[in-house]
Amino acid sequence: MENTFIMIKPDGVKRGLAGELISRIEKKGFKIVQAKLFQPDRTLVEEHYKEHKDKPFFDKLVNYILEGPVMAMEVEGEAAIEIMRKMIGDKDPKLAKPGTIRGDFANTMNKNVIHGSDSIESTNRELDLWF
């Protein structure tokens, strides 16, 4: 069994997509073992995205995540990290395939509905940070 950190971003929560996204995760056979809907603070969001702190989009990204509550989740299942990344789809809306979450629900890179950890190391780091 593998665990991964998934976050429904503020645009996903605001648009009422949380139920649909949780449903997709559950229908895939994954289990949500922890979840909380809350407003993170700047320190937490900056730490979460610290790998991007020198990128030109960093400030905009952090401010976007601070726009409203997020749904933070720990998701469990075989190969959950890789499979959830596939289900989430590419961050570039032109590359995100229909059938993926971003392919179906996002049309911009700035507001792309959901986050998923990309490795075991980032999962452990992010789960420690958010829970």
**Which spans of this chain sit near ligand CDP (rule: CB under 6 A)?**
57, 61, 91, 109-110, 112, 115, 118
- Shortest Å, Cβ 114 to ligand CDP: 8
Q: For the chain, what's the residue count?
A: 131
Instruction: Assess whether 115 carries a catalytic annotation.
Output: yes
- Shortest Å, Cβ 108 to ligand CDP: 8
Nearer to ligand CDP, 35 or 109 (CB): 109
Characterize the bridge pairing of strands 114-116 and 2-8: antiparallel
- Shortest Å, Cβ 52 to ligand CDP: 6
CA distance 44 to 62: 10
113 dihedral zone (left: phi>0; alpha: psi -120 to 50; beta): left
CA distance 131 to 19: 21
CA distance 94 to 91: 9
Nearer to ligand CDP, 76 or 118 (CB): 118
Nearer to ligand CDP, 11 or 74 (CB): 11
Spot the catalytic one: 115, 116, 123, 126: 115
User: Which amino acids are annotated catalytic?
Assistant: 115
